[in-house]
Each structure stands twice: as structure tokens, then as C-alpha cells.
Amino acid sequence: MITTTTQSQKNRSWWLVLIIGILSVLCGLWVFRHPVESYFALSVYFSLIFMMYGLSEIIHAFADRSRQNWGWGLGIGVLNFVIGFLLLINIAWAVSMLPYIVGFILMFTGINFIGQASSMQTYKIPGWGWLLTGGVLTLLFAFLIIFHPIFGVFDIIVWTGLSFVFGGISTIFYAFILKK
């Protein structure tokens, strides 16, 4: 028996993506409001956000296995979840490596957004430009974090906060696109 799935059945986990986007924006705003405390607390927040984002990507990948290249989403989800877990269990290491860990995770996230936008454009799904813009901005901030962490804690916090805000906004747009 052949069953067909509707678009709404494929995207029934859109709300998980929305929650991650909202949490990312809130985390970015918190970073700006408490710059001194945030550097040390970022390792805990990053680990939780990355674990949740990873779990969301894993669930989304398994829910939509008919999508071409669904394995990339699964791989990014597993990577985010594992790094988040490692950050949570070793805070001292996470604080010293924070700019590099955050930068590389955001780099992979930006690349994922750009890939998703490309797929959406191929299938003529509206809203792909927002996702592409968010992916490019997330990638830009990721490179700034990776290659210029020496500017100090303040710059790391600013770039990290901006990355969370732009990445979160892109994720929110993506969630509403998935809902349709």
C-alpha cells in the first residue's frame, strides 16, 4: 500500500523550530543586558541552547526523511547536541574555548540556513530570501568570532549576542515557512 504524506504532515514539528528561534533571540538579548556575567554564564546557556537546537534538528530530520539531504540536518543536530552536552559537563574548559566553539557551531548553522534557503529557492517556496539573509549574517558573525576573539570578552559577547539574535530571527521565519 502506498501512502502519501501532505506537506502539513511533513512539517508537523515546525513549532520546535519556532521555540528554538525564540530562545535564541531571548538568549541574545540577555547577553546584551548582562555583559559581565554573560561571558561565564554563556557556556551553560550555549550548552542548553545547542542541546535543544540539536534535538530539534534530529527530530526534524527523522520526521522528514523524504527530504533530499536530510542527513545533513541530522548530522548538524547530533553535532550540536554532543557539543552542548560536553559544554555542560566541563564548564572551565567551555569558558576558555567559548569563542571557538560558538564560532564553529554558528558557522555550521549559517551554512545549514544557506543550504535550506537554496533548497527552498529550487522548489519555489516563498521566504527563502529571509533564510538566506539570516544564514549569511550568521556565517559572518561566526567568522568574526572565530578569527577575532582577541578583541576581548566584550567583542565576543557582542558578536555572540548578534549571532543569536539574527540566527533566532531566521529560525523563527523558517518555522513559519515550515508551518505552511
Average pLDDT, consecutive stretches of 10 residues, N- to C-terminus, the chain (180 residues): 49 89 93 83 77 91 83 89 88 78 84 94 93 94 79 68 90 90
The confidence score (pLDDT) of residue 153 equals: 57
Q: What is the pLDDT at residue 9?
A: 53
Pair 168, 24: CB distance under 8 Å: yes
Question: pTM higher than 0.75 for the full model?
Answer: no
| Cα–Cα dist 78/128, whole Å | 25
* Res 111: pLDDT: 95
Instruction: Count CB-CB contacts under 10 A for residue 45.
Output: 18
Q: Which residues contact 93 (CB under 8 A, 6 or more apart)?
A: none
Residue 154's pLDDT is what?
65
What gap in Å lies between CA 109 and CA 47, rounded to an integer? 15
Rounded Cα–Cα distance for residues 177 and 157 (Å): 30
pLDDT digits (tens, 9 = 90+) for 59-112: 988 888 887 778 888 998 999 899 889 888 988 777 777 778 778 878 999 999
**Tell me, what amino acid is at 104?**
F
pLDDT at 150: 61
Burial degree of 19 (CB within 10 A; 0-12, 13-18, 19+): middle
For all residues of the chain together, what is the average pLDDT? 84
